[in-house]
Amino acid sequence: MKINLDDVDLGFAVNITVLREVLASLTMQGRRWWIASDPADAVRNGWLTIGHGDKRCEDRLNTLYYRVPVLSGDEPGGRTERLVVLLESSVVSPEQPGLYIEKGRVVEDEIEDILCFLLPILRAMAARFGMQCPKEN
């Protein structure tokens, strides 16, 4: 996964240990977040997959998967907990768009997907590092 850092505004660069702790603490409306790919593969792939929704459910109505870029290029001595990923909206990409049922029709809403996935993570990261976040409307 090649990324252009010129497009990055404000995000978090965190190691997988911190990311795992933050994701484990998140739950909203029955949805959870988790690292869904093998961190050992992240260096080779250039990205790490994060799941959002219900781990036991694979359909796009209930679970989405996003790829986040790996910034550190080396796997120090096979220790994946030191890998650093970037969490910022311009570099996070969905594996597939989510699906929603509206008025009896199945539709996609990429904006809603990224907001539901990334905003809670960014707010939790900000809280972890003692930063203030704007309140949701």
CA dist 87 and 106 (Å) reads: 29
Confidence (pLDDT) at 136: 58
SS3 labels along 51-90: EEECCCCCCCCCEEEEEEEECCCCCHHHCHHHCEEEECCC
Check residue 137 and report its DSSP letter: -
Mean pLDDT of the chain: 83
Q: Which residues have C-beta within 8 Å of that of residue 61, sequence separation ≥ 6?
A: 98, 99, 100, 101
Task: List for the chain the helix, strand, coil content (%; round to 5).
Answer: 35, 30, 40
Angstrom distance (rounded) from CA 89 to CA 100? 21
Domain annotation for the chain: domains and CATH numbers: 8-128 (3.30.310)
> In this predicted model, what pLDDT tens digit does every residue of 52-107 receive, in sequence order?
988 777 766 678 899 999 987 555 566 777 789 999 888 888 988 777 778 888 88
Q: pLDDT tens for residues 44-65?
A: 889 999 999 887 777 666 788 9
Strand partners, 34: 51
pLDDT band of residue 30 (cuts 50, 70, 90) is confident
pLDDT > 90? residue 35:
yes
